[in-house]
Amino acid sequence: QVQLVESGGGLVQAGGSLRLSCAASGRTFSDYAMGWFRQAPGKEREFVSVISWGGGTTYYADSVKGRFTISRNNAKNTVYLQMNSLKAEDTATYYCAARRNSVSKVPADFGSWGQGTQVTVSS
């Protein structure tokens, strides 16, 4: 298993930006596809974005496409989520997750999870 620690959440006004980071340790980071998911109170955890082990493949939820950008730095064992033009509906706890080999949009496919970081967007 790989250990994951998210950071960078906070309170921001609508239209603002935040960058989330997820630092990994314990295994070879470049063996893993990395995903971002979010969960709002009373709702199921939902897919936000995923990036392949080498960074060449990325996918986004329709709700964040064009506003969020996922990236990774394998030398720093870190994956990022740049979030621009934030909306109130982006308010949630954001989790990063790791999956050996190929990308997926399904939370159950990911074996390692961080503790989450809260993002609150005020309107």
Secondary structure (3-state) at 120: strand
pLDDT in tens, the chain (123 residues): 899 999 999 999 999 999 999 999 987 898 999 999 999 999 999 999 999 999 999 999 999 999 999 999 999 999 999 999 999 999 999 999 999 989 999 999 999 999 999 999 999
pLDDT of residue 71: 98
Closest to 48 in 3D by CA, of 94, 116, 110, 115: 94
Looking at this protein, which amino acid is placed at residue 40?
A
pLDDT of residue 94: 98
HEC sequence for 70-117: EEEECCCCEEEEEECCCCHHHCEEEEEEEEECCCCCCHHHCCEECCCE
